[in-house]
Amino acid sequence: MRSWPAPDPTSLPGNGALPGRGPRVRLHDTAAGALVPVGPDSGTASLYVCGITPYDATHLGHANTYVAFDLLGRAWRDAGLDVRYVQNVTDVDDPLLERAEATGVDWRELAHSQVELFREDMSALSVVPPERYLGVVEAVDLVSGAVRELLAAGAAYRVPGTGGGPDGDVYFPVAADPSFGSVGGYDRATMLALSAERGGDPQRPGKRDPLDPLLWRVQRPGEPAWEAGELGRGRPGWHIECTAIALEHLGMPVDVQGGGSDLVFPHHEMGAAHAHLLRPASRPFARAYAHSGMVALDGEKMSKSKGNLVLVSRLRAAGVDPAVVRLAIVSHHWRSDWEWTDEVLRQARERFARWSAAVGQPSGPSAEGLLAAVRERLADDLDAPGAVAAVDAWVQAQSATGGDDTAAPELVRRTVTALLGVSLR
């Protein structure tokens, strides 16, 4: 699948846009419950971020997640690393098919139109595109191959049909992975509750463990399906999709597996368990599991199923500068839960205007300390609000006392563009 146009390469770190280099990046790893260094000392860092299920894209919650991992990619580049980034599109799954059915739109068309909007939004938000952007539809053979491998390894089993359903849905036995549970660290009661809430089927009869997730769903009447050898016609379960794509296009372990905090369990826990059985010698699946906070609207998590959405495309259509939207996002810590309000947008607009005016001046206070401060803040668990505060302080000093460094305004502009991804006007 086509990704989206990249920002101007000369605006990115690591291309001579900024003098010197940033420090090694440390990030909060959900599995360790602590900050860990992420990415190698030199060479290429690998990143897999879970992509959208393409209906009702792109809301501010999605944008928050992809901007968070874009900050990581920029910090890595600034530290001298190359970045190999892969993202999926869940373009076949129950919620997408249900929405298509409910609205009378062909599921392929729905997915196509929403992916198109997502691309435009990501590009408008200056998010550096993944090197590989893959839908499940185009990765079906890869995913069914992984399911067959698990069956051959004894790490998958078939379940008889119930309630008139066909025989042969394939499930993964969570008991097969001795480290199952280590990503989220949840107790069993919590795992059962989250599984029921987030696409699992703990009530399904015939499973060895209620937590066991679906790997392959045999075709039901009217559902899309693909031939998959001994698995029969059907479609992939959700978690195995990301595992199969990540193993094929990044290899294992990946440096960072990312997504929103609603993916810790079951999605990332199950994805890791699948990988541990597929490539036992290369454990763990990821060196770090990183989870961005949830964006809410009117006190509730913004979600497609609830319909309480602020869409990036609607803001753009209403004339809001996407760089202002990005500034509003990076003014919040990537791991914190926060609420989108008109006030958040108003403050970002004002800050953007102050910053733009400041970098348009012929001179200002020296900005080398600012560049070092922004780098230091971002390398410390992507503390973008700390970096924003450092820029605020420079802008404040410039308007209060000014300065005679004629290179400073341009250096501030480049710092903000390259590291925060916010292009000032």
- The residues that touch Zn ion, with contacts defined as CB under 5 A, are 50, 242
Of 242 and 286, nearer to Zn ion (C-beta) is: 242
Question: In the set 13, 14, 22, 51, which binds ligand 5CA (CB under 6 A)?
Answer: 51
Q: Interacting stretch for ligand 5CA, rule CB under 6 A, among 125-133, 141-149, 155-163, 290-298? A: 290-298
CA separation for the pair 53, 353 (Å, rounded): 35
CA 107 to chain centre: 23
Q: Assess 50 for contact with ligand 5CA (CB under 6 A).
A: yes
Under 8 Å between Cβ of 246 and 275: yes
Q: Which one, 39 or 61, has the nearer CB to ligand 5CA?
A: 61
Instruction: Note whether 114 binds ligand 5CA by CB under 6 A.
Output: no
- Shortest distance (Å) from residue 136 CB to Zn ion: 10
The answer to whether 133 and 51 have CB atoms below 8 angstroms apart is yes
Asked if 322 and 312 count as a contact pair (C-beta separation under 8 A), the reply is: yes
Q: Which residues within the stretch 70-99 sit at the binding site for ligand 5CA (CB under 6 A)?
A: 88, 90
Sign of CA dihedral 393, 403, 374, 424: positive
Q: Could you tell which of Zn ion, ligand 5CA, none binds residue 364, using a CB distance below 5 to 8 A set by kind?
A: none
* Residues 6 or more apart in contact with residue 340 via CB below 8 angstroms: 60, 295, 296, 297, 302, 310, 328
Q: How long, in residues, is the chain? A: 425
Among 295, 330, 370, 416, binds ligand 5CA (CB under 6 A): 295
Least Å from the CB of residue 61 to ligand 5CA = 2
**242: contact with ligand 5CA by CB under 6 A:** yes
263 forms part of the interface with ligand 5CA (CB under 6 A): yes
Residues with Cβ < 8 Å from 186, sequence gap 6 or more? 194, 265
Q: Which residues contact residue 15 at a Cβ distance below 8 angstroms, ignoring those fewer than 6 apart?
A: 9
Verify binding: residue 294, ligand 5CA, rule CB under 6 A: yes
Query: 398 touches which of Zn ion, ligand 5CA, none (CB within 5 to 8 A by kind)?
Result: none
Residue 260 binds: one of ligand 5CA, Zn ion, none (C-beta under 5 to 8 A by kind): ligand 5CA
**Minimum distance, C-beta of residue 216 to ligand 5CA, in the bound complex (Å):** 17
How many C-alpha atoms does 16 have within 13 Å on its Cβ side?
Answer: 1
Q: Report the candidate in 381, 345, 277 with the shortest Cα–Cα distance to residue 25.
A: 381
**Under 8 Å between Cβ of 140 and 245:** no
- Name the segment binding ligand 5CA (CB under 6 A); options: 58-66, 102-110, 153-161, 214-222: 58-66
- Closest distance between Zn ion and the C-beta of residue 50, in Å? 3
CB of 49 to Zn ion, least distance (A): 8
Which among ligand 5CA, Zn ion, none contacts residue 144 (Cβ within 5 to 8 A by kind)? none
52 near ligand 5CA (CB under 6 A): yes
Residue 65 touches ligand 5CA, criterion: CB under 6 A: yes
Closer Cβ to Zn ion, 95 or 165, answer by number:
95
Contact call for residue 262 and ligand 5CA (CB under 6 A): yes
64 binds ligand 5CA (CB under 6 A): yes
Continuous H helices in 153-249: 188-197, 238-249
Size of the site for ligand 5CA (CB under 6 A): 21
Looking from the CA of 87 toward its CB, the CA atoms found within 13 Å total 28
53 is a contact residue toward ligand 5CA (CB under 6 A): yes
Is 204 buried (19+), middle (13-18) or exposed (0-12) by CB count in 10 A?
middle
Which residue sits closest to Zn ion, CB atoms considered? Answer: 50
Specify the residue, 313 or 366, whose C-beta has the smaller distance to ligand 5CA: 313
**Percentage helix, strand, coil for the chain under 3-state DSSP, each rounded to 5:** 45, 15, 40
Q: How far is the CB of 259 from ligand 5CA (least distance, A)?
A: 4
Q: CB-wise, 191 or 424, nearer to Zn ion?
A: 191
Question: Which token pair is 214?
Answer: 């679906």
Amino acid type, 394: W
Separation of alpha carbons 162 and 173, rounded Å? 19
Binding site for ligand 5CA (CB under 6 A): 50-53, 61-62, 64-65, 88, 90, 242, 259-260, 262-263, 292, 294-295, 301-303
